[in-house]
Amino acid sequence: MKTFVDLFHQIDQTAKTTEKVEALTSYLSSASDEDKVWTIALFTGKHPKRIATSTQLKLWAAELAQIPYWLIEESHHIVGDLSETIANVLPDYPNPSNRSLSEWMLALTAVKKQDEERRKAFLIEAWTSFTKHERFVFNKLTSGAFRMGVSQQLVVKAITRHSGIPENTITHRLMGNWSPIDTNYHSLIVASNPLDAISKPYPFCLAYGLETPLETLGTTNEWQAEYKWDGIRAQLILRNKEVFIWSRGEELITAQYPEFANLPNNLPNGTVIDGELLVYKDDRPLPFAAMQKRIGLKKVTAKNLAQSPIVLMAYDLLEYNGEDIREQPLQTRRLLLQKLIEAAHESSSDIPLHLSQAIAFDYWDQLVQERSNAPTIGSEGLMLKRLSSIYETGRKKGNWWKWKVDPMTVDAVLIYAQSGSGRRANLYTDYTFAVWNEEGALVPFAKAYSGLTDAEIKEVDQWIKKNTIDKFGPVRSVKAELVFEIAFEAIQESKRHKSGIAVRFPRILRWRKDKPASEADTLENLRKSIQQ
């Protein structure tokens, strides 16, 4: 466990990716195979579920530290991280444990199934066998939300440096739903066995937002333009007569979308399509809210299928006849994709598979027009892809660009603030914004966390501390004075929100120091944009 804790702190203490990769590589070369697998799992988002609720954790830690529960809670509000709070209210214990990371993780997995008393005893035993540093990392591991300042790409880089196996191969081997409990390092990383890979997706190719004028991209005939859809980015895999659907978050979501169960009759084996899952009705996609309803369903009924039918809007073809074609140019891949979809539609009348149409254009200006029309057909903008580009791994600049419709904006008043966590702990960074209603009262309508510079965050934080009207637990209500321009992607009616509206992806565009609160926008204005 000690070496893993050291690794955690090495990575935590640096912002330089080269140093992170170095730390990880050197850890891999000294760790046991069991610890390696667990480390790879933990660093790529496969962490165990938590074994206690945060209330239980606070109760047990308070008892052990001999302080009242409210004091742990108060400390948690200020520290912004429960793992750290519990680590710090207890002393360094002098009999450090010798259990390895994998031993701890297996013990953790085993105790998960036991009753509350046993889980409590396990945690207390663990807490009292660690130094503060170790306890903090342990708590993070057991919190059910372990995150590290390391992207999957960095993990892949380190494994490649350690094993000598190419990055693309490693990325692919790490995908899918393997579990560190029954996977060993050799079979995961070293051995290549195509049979256990039938459900394995390819890493998604992601695009950056376009930052420069269209003209800088070069000549129009090198580019493909298509609409950008707001659903769930997914990969549809058809191998061995079986269908698998993966979300971009690397979740296997096949069971939630029975629409695709019959596809083995319509598509050849060895097909992998990259696309967007959308609720599609009367020849057009429904807003994301409709999709959200489907996402939340535990069991999909016939009624759900009728009310919100799903299609895959196909963007790209990654595997054709069982062959990985990602290195072929987009142009070629698209032709094959089109052929597959056409053949599928010929084989049956009701195929939940649409080709994302390329937009014909000769001049860049035409795309400006197309982009502004996008919302009328339920699209959120355009995607630009270089026709000669290969299907890359991860987010790369140059060949793929997203060019979204300009967001809607509103000037809103800051009314509540809460301190953030992690890097923003002990700093008021989570804001709730309000607009004026017809009675002249401020109604909260959106929460936003990002968009300010560090210097602005500091300034707002100071202001909040000086202008607090009331405190409710971690939340402060503040004087209605600061105005911010809030951008968002879409707006819908909502019965759940006091304001009657819900906005998608709200974020702070800028601080309107020039505007008094009285000149902020009205709810009426916001409602108008729903109808548009």
Using CB under 8 A as the criterion, which residues of the chain lie in contact with other proteins when the complex forms?
12-14, 65, 67-68, 70-72, 74-75, 78-81, 84-85, 88-89, 91-92, 136, 420-427, 454
| CB 8 to other proteins: min, Å | 11
Which of 456, 442, 452 shows the shortest CA–CA distance to 414? 442
| CB 7 to other proteins: min, Å | 16
| CB 116 to other proteins: min, Å | 25
Q: Based on CB atoms, which residue is closest to other proteins, 196 or 454?
A: 454
Q: Based on CB atoms, which residue is closest to other proteins, 13 or 321?
A: 13
Q: Based on CB atoms, which residue is closest to other proteins, 195 or 455?
A: 455
Phi, psi of 277 (to 5 degrees): -80, 130
- Residues 359, 372: contact at Cβ < 8 Å? no
Select which of 120, 228, 397, 513 is catalytic: 228
Residue located via tokens 């892809």 = 385
| CB 9 to other proteins: min, Å | 10
Q: Based on CB atoms, which residue is closest to other proteins, 16 or 241?
A: 16
The token duo for 264 is 């083995």
Q: Based on CB atoms, which residue is closest to other proteins, 139 or 152?
A: 139
Which of 272, 230, 277 shows the shortest CA–CA distance to 256? 277
| CB 79 to other proteins: min, Å | 6
- Report the C-alpha gap between 233 and 316 in whole angstroms: 12
| CB 112 to other proteins: min, Å | 26
| CB 423 to other proteins: min, Å | 5
- Residues 316, 391: contact at Cβ < 8 Å? yes
Contacts of 90 (CB under 8 A, 6+ apart): 61, 64, 65, 127, 128, 132, 135
Contacts of 143 (CB under 8 A, 6+ apart): 50, 82, 83
Q: Based on CB atoms, which residue is closest to other proteins, 88 or 304?
A: 88
Element housing 38 (H / E): helix 33-43
Phi, psi of 57 (to 5 degrees): -60, -45
To the nearest 10°, report the CA torsion of 441, 442, 445, 447. -160
Rg (CA), the chain: 26
Contacts of 492 (CB under 8 A, 6+ apart): 287, 289, 501, 502, 503, 504, 530
The token duo for 189 is 């990383």
- Residues 158, 24: contact at Cβ < 8 Å? yes
| CB 454 to other proteins: min, Å | 8
The token duo for 242 is 């079986």
Q: Based on CB atoms, which residue is closest to other proteins, 92 or 327?
A: 92
Q: Is 157 part of the annotated catalytic residue set?
A: no
- Residues 204, 235: contact at Cβ < 8 Å? yes
Burial-class residue 231 by CB neighbours within 10 Å (0-12, 13-18, 19+): buried
Q: Based on CB atoms, which residue is closest to other proteins, 304 or 426?
A: 426
CA 86 vs. chain centroid, Å, equals 27
Which of 413, 427, 405 shows the shortest CA–CA distance to 479? 413
- Report the C-alpha gap between 253 and 87 in whole angstroms: 37
Residues with active-site annotation: 228
